[in-house]
Amino acid sequence: MTQLDLFADLASTEPAEPPRVPATFTGAAESAPAVTPAAATRGGASPIARPTSIRARRLRLPSNPHDAAWRIGEAVASAWNTQRGGTAIEVPIGIVAALALIRPKGPQGPDLAHQILAQDDDQLIRMYREIWAGHWMHRPDLIDRARILHQWLNDDDHSKHRLHLTRAVTQAALRAGIFCLTGHDDPYFRAATDVLSPVMNLTRSTGAQQGLGEYHTPWGVAEAMGHMLISEIQLAFTGEPRPGEHISDPACGSGGLLRAAAQSMRERGIDPATMRWSGVDVDEIAAACTAVNAIIWSLGPNVTVACADSLIQPNAVEEAMAEARAIIEHRDRLFDQASMIAGIRKAQTLLAQAAAA
């Protein structure tokens, strides 16, 4: 069995033990790649067109990342519909989300896409479970919000059709070049577009979208609104956004406005991880996508995503924060119990060795 080092980059940028996020959600930013001065240009050529790292050169960002994301969405939707996937669109979206959460180990490393496709069906399911579990250790609050995208993986017995669909969608996303959009070290490159929005829009029926009142904000509009949002903050506080400022979207969809605002900050040399972010959406799948995107785009530790109708639940963000604190505390208790059990077993081993000496 091929062993995939899926969390090589995660291990290199995160502490060995997952951080305990303060209950107030106002602590320092989580470990994340620093924003380089070269990526913060105020005019002239876009920093997207000038990747500086070896990884960025190997995984060259497409000239139009939004078009590339749409092509991935089309490929995934085609594979799903051709193979009669049905209405369980959380499956293809969850597969694309999991792939977007991993990155190739290094510029000279093996072809991760080839390794993934070389696995058998059971190994593929196990790999996706491990991806979600690994990220749950670091961000249980966001991964729990995205539960609808991965809970199907916990089924005891996957049908042959489900396994076939999983492989078909995986193959479509990888061959369409998802790692060229999400496989970069620099969060500015990873946040160049939203790979989940096209999948969500193209796999969901028109009737379902209308029933949810869902409207996809065009990329250009989202970019303009993101820049306007940061400009408004500048006017309100007579300067650049300051650490701890709250950026919120009460109808966030998959997080497009938050992404655009974060990119605008990076272009100003500001690390989005120093801000507070929140998004609310009535659609469970859209809220799940925002939660995953917050990790992909490195928005930092102070991110809250609520699944609610912000018009009738004005305290949705505060309630979601309370839920997130409870989830993080549960994670910490599990880690404490695991550490205690490991300590007891180690002591028992030492005692047994001493008795045998």
Question: How far, in whole angstroms, is CA 166 from its chain's centroid?
Answer: 19
Q: CB under 8 Å to 151, separation ≥6 — which residues?
A: none
Quote the pLDDT of residue 208.
41
Domain count, the chain: 1
Q: Are 274 and 246 in contact (CB under 8 A)?
A: no
Quote the pLDDT of residue 346.
80
Residue 55 lies in a domain: no
* Residue 77 DSSP symbol: H
In this predicted structure, the answer to whether residue 312 has a pLDDT above a threshold of 60 is yes
Quote the pLDDT of residue 152.
97
Q: Are 85 and 165 in contact (CB under 8 A)?
A: yes
Question: Residue 157's pLDDT band (boundaries 50, 70, 90)?
Answer: confident
Q: Is the pTM of this model over 0.85?
A: no
For range 183-210, the mean pLDDT: 84
Residue 340 lies in a domain: no
Residue 289 lies in a domain: yes
29-38, 91-100, 225-234: which is most confident: 91-100
Quote the pLDDT of residue 233.
52
Quote the pLDDT of residue 285.
97
Domain that holds residue 35: 29-45+64-318
Quote the pLDDT of residue 54.
37
Quote the pLDDT of residue 320.
97
Q: What are 163-166's contacts with CB under 8 Å, separation 24+?
A: 163/121, 163/124, 163/125, 164/83, 165/80, 165/83, 165/85, 165/91, 165/92, 166/91, 166/95, 166/121, 166/124, 166/125, 166/128
Q: Are 153 and 125 in contact (CB under 8 A)?
A: yes
Select the more confidently predicted residue: 268 or 189. 189
Residue 243 lies in a domain: yes
Quote the pLDDT of residue 191.
96
> Tokens 């065009």 belong to which residue?
218
Q: Are 107 and 55 in contact (CB under 8 A)?
A: yes
Q: CB under 8 Å to 282, separation ≥6 — which residues?
A: 212, 213, 307, 308, 309, 310
The helices-and-strands tally (H runs, E runs) of the chain is 16, 3
Residue 16 lies in a domain: no
Mean pLDDT, rounded, of the chain: 79
In this predicted structure, the answer to whether residue 141 has a pLDDT above a threshold of 80 is yes
Instruction: For residue range 3-29, list pLDDT tens digits in order.
Output: 444 433 443 333 333 344 333 333 233
Question: Residue 51's pLDDT band (boundaries 50, 70, 90)?
Answer: very low
Residue 303 lies in a domain: yes
Residue 165 lies in a domain: yes
> What is the H or E stretch that residue 293 is in?
helix 284-296
Quote the pLDDT of residue 190.
95
For range 326-351, the mean pLDDT: 86
Quote the pLDDT of residue 156.
84
Report the distance separating Cα 245 and Cα 18, nearest Å: 25
Quote the pLDDT of residue 44.
35
In this predicted structure, the answer to whether residue 48 has a pLDDT above a threshold of 60 is no
